[in-house]
Amino acid sequence: MNGNRYSIALSGTILAVLVSVATIPAMASLSDNTSDTTKSANEQTISDIQHALDEQRYVDAGNLLNQALLGGVKDPKLDLLVGELSLARSNFSEALASFTTVEANPVVRAQALQGEGIVLSNLGRSNDAMVALKKAVAEDPSLWRAWNAMGTEYDKQRDWPQAEAAYDHALANSDSSAIALNNRGFSLLLQKRLDEASADFVAALQKKPDLAPARTNLRLVIAMKGDYQHAIAGGSQDGQAALLNNAGVAAMVHGDYPQAEKLFGQAIQAKGEYYARAEANLEITHTLEGRSDVSAGGGTHKTTAQ
């Protein structure tokens, strides 16, 4: 959404988190002045930490990292994993500091640039993010998370061909990661290519059935097709307000303002307390509906919500 347009508040995370550590490519061995025994032990430690990160066992990963660092192990690969753990926990300033510290080391430079670019993207520093991400894939084209983050940056620019190319790289280098599938699907949704978007969300859920953003996005596609009842059906009681809000957003985008008002009202009622997102969307709907009436009457004011 552009800064000069209304901001529509969707509930839940629609893009799958870019901070997912997924799989970092195999790392080089330690320096030659370390004994073979130490090398093997360090490689096992790194493997154990990476495995904990992959399974989102962040407490375990942190404990293993602390043990290694307190034991006096000096290894840029451990410093890189410190950054990955901070990134996974959304501690962006700490993650950025860790990645920039080891960026100059050729052993981990490409992965550090990838992490740096993802952090900068999450911080909204798009230009800096793209510089880091392009450097990362130039050094190692297999870094799918960098390609995935580039895809989301191109989505922000509405540069659809470049976004599609970036997601193609991400999928090819990740064995069709559920996260990359979801994010490409959301890119297609933004382009109103609903059938293709739906196929990506379904594929993402087949890969990772508990990927909540993909499930939310699939419901949004259903709502965008005008099937609001199916879009809100089957949700938990706690999540019903969010489903109703998102269906209302779809109705508003379609220009079906009466239906949008109804859904936002139901979302507010389901929440049972102040629901800032639905309240804001309801206010936008009233404004858009009023301006639509002015336009229909020959006025010059017309606003399109994106």
**Residue 241: partners with Cβ closer than 8 Å, 6 or more residues away:** 11, 267, 268, 270, 271, 275, 278
Q: In the chain, what percentage of residues exceed pLDDT 90? A: 43
pTM above 0.75, yes or no: no
Answer whether CATH 1.10.260.40 is correct for domain 14-24+39-140.
no
Whether 121 and 129 have beta carbons less than 8 Å apart is answered as yes
DSSP for 240-282? HHHHHHHHHHHHHHHT-HHHHHHHHHHHHHHH-S--HHHHHHH
Lowest mean pLDDT of 50-54, 125-129, 204-208, name the range. 50-54
Domain segments of the chain: what residues?
14-24+39-140, 228-299
In this structure, is the dihedral angle defined by the CA atoms of residues 294, 296, 300 and 304, taken in order, positive or negative? Answer: positive
User: 87-130: per-residue pLDDT in tens?
Assistant: 999 999 999 999 999 999 999 999 999 999 999 999 999 999 99
In this structure, is the dihedral angle defined by the CA atoms of residues 8, 264, 186 and 239, taken in order, positive or negative? Answer: positive
User: 230-286: per-residue pLDDT in tens?
Assistant: 667 766 655 778 778 877 777 777 777 887 888 888 888 788 777 887 887 777 777
